[in-house]
Amino acid sequence: MFDYLIVGAGFAGSVLAERLAAGAGKRVVVVDRRPHIAGNAYDHYDDAGVLVHKYGPHIFHTNSREVFEYLSRFTAWRPYEHRVLASVDGQLLPIPINLDTVNRLYGLGLTALELEQFFAARAEKVEPVRTSEDVIVSRVGRELYAKFFRNYTRKQWGLDPAELDASVTARVPVRCNRDDRYFDDTYQAMPKHGYTRLFERMLAHPNIKVMLNTDYRDIAGEIGYREMIYTGPVDEFFDHRHGKLPYRSLRFHHETYDQAVYQPAPVVNYPNQHLYTRVTEFKYLTGQEHAKTSVVYEYPCDDGDPYYPVPRPENAELYRRYKALADATPGVHFTGRLATYRYYNMDQVVAQALTLYARLCQRSGADAPRTDDHGRDPRVLSAAS
Ligand code: FAD
Ligand code: UDP
């Protein structure tokens, strides 16, 4: 008899498995219908021996010390600050838009202060800022919006930015200085030996059984368990009773080139050309040295694995109906990007899973989390080697 059946071996499922097993002494079984652990963060060595991310580039960044320290129990880190160039008007320019982006695009020599005035002269007053179009147009004006955001967003989501919540393009800041990093979080790093290794260490506990190539529906009736933690798509759990929740998908086209370097940056975005949105060259991310190089092209599409919840009011409304069903389903806990229909990064999923774990422990009183389950004080940064 297992205490928990955990559906999905991504960050949500694996963090809960690790905490419940190592922190609360529970017996858990983790099932995933894919042939591997790590969910969308899965990485592996391709035929040429280059470490690649099967489901597109995954860069770790967080402002949460708790999340960073928790994951540090399972991996050492490679310091890494992500940088992206966008192909616009025949040039490769820094994105997020910054001082160099504008100066190079228009052949200007503005200072930071002058750039603030440049934006102010072009920004359109939008009250309230509701959509992904509003966010950018109200900050930098319509021309830069059209060059960097409109078409990329249409491609990525199959929707106009005016049809998407502000939160989507608000993920990308606009800067007046020369900071060309994609993220500005406190912690920015890549797991030194890759994500899959991190997950292997997280799941290597005698109380955790992992079953791959297994849909939970095929085994739920056959194995004994007390409660379920579900991290798959929430509408699928309820047989799409209220209709399908839209998830945007991607087709990944992986290529290896017989040259050491392919492009001048880890990621190049293509807002206005090609059917793909971006090209990622993995060696920049991983620091691997290799005579060949591997890249992935991302082609957005509607059908396929569900990768992105689509943030817009009507989908939030439909999700609320599924959430009501989830709340009324005793013995099943819904968590993760797909099960709570949130456009979450990895660190947010880890934080959400840790919060659920704390709630489960609180509920059962006697099983309050033990801080010594790794023989360490969790407040102390502990980088595994
Ligand atoms: P998942 O990783 O999707 O895991 C859910 C698992 O459940 C899957 O493995 C699935 O097979 C399994 N499952 C579903 N249904 C069933 C079933 N019926 N039976 C058995 N198993 C089932 N985040 C960042 O922080 N930085 C990034 O740079 C970044 N880049 C990204 C790039 C792309 C292209 C994508 C798509 C996402 C990116 N993310 C990034 C987000 C990140 O992937 C997610 O936040 C995180 O992986 C979500 O973890 P999860 O456990 O909720 O879901
Ligand atoms: N975006 C854009 N142009 C860019 C980069 C991002 O229009 O060059 C928009 C697009 O809508 C994208 C969103 O901003 O989906 C969030 O970008 P992010 O890089 O965070 O997307 P993710 O890595 O989650 O795919």
Q: How far is the CA of 235 from the centre of ligand 2 (A)?
A: 25
Q: How far is the CA of 157 from the centre of ligand 2 (A)?
A: 10
Residues with CB under 6 A from ligand 1: 7-13, 31-34, 39-41, 55-59, 215-216, 231-232, 250, 307, 336-338, 344-347, 349
Q: Answer yes or no: do 100 and 72 share one domain.
A: no
Distance CA 349, CA 71 (A): 12
Q: In the chain, how many domains are there?
A: 2
Q: Answer yes or no: do 153 and 13 share one domain.
A: no
Amino acid identity of residue 112, one-letter, is A
pLDDT for 259 beyond 50: yes
pLDDT for 199 beyond 60: yes
Q: Answer yes or no: do 70 and 109 share one domain.
A: no
The domain boundary residue, chosen from 111, 134, 169: 169
Q: Which residue from 58, 59, 195 has its CB within 8 A of the most atoms of ligand 1, so it is best to mutate?
A: 58
Residue range 311-370, pLDDT digits in tens? 999 999 999 999 999 999 999 999 999 999 999 999 999 999 999 999 999 987 644 444
Question: What confidence score (pLDDT) does residue 363 get?
Answer: 85
Q: How far is the CA of 181 from the centre of ligand 1 (A)?
A: 24
Q: Answer yes or no: do 123 and 234 share one domain.
A: no
Q: Answer yes or no: do 152 and 91 share one domain.
A: yes
Q: How far is the CA of 343 from the centre of ligand 2 (A)?
A: 12
Domain with residue 235: its CATH number is 3.40.50.720
Distance CA 147, CA 149 (A): 6
Q: Tell me the residue length of the chain.
A: 385
Question: CA 248 → CA 8, 98, 152, 304, 309, distances in Å?
Answer: 19, 29, 14, 8, 6
Instruction: Assign 212 a pLDDT band (cuts: 50, 70, 90).
Output: very high
Question: What confidence score (pLDDT) does residue 383 get?
Answer: 32
Nearest CA to ligand 2 atom 2: 149
Residue 316's domain comprises 2-50+62-78+193-245+309-367
Nearest alpha carbon to residue 355 among 381, 333, 376, 324:
333
pTM, whole model, 2 decimals? 0.95
Q: Answer yes or no: do 46 and 156 share one domain.
A: no
Q: Answer yes or no: do 101 and 140 share one domain.
A: yes
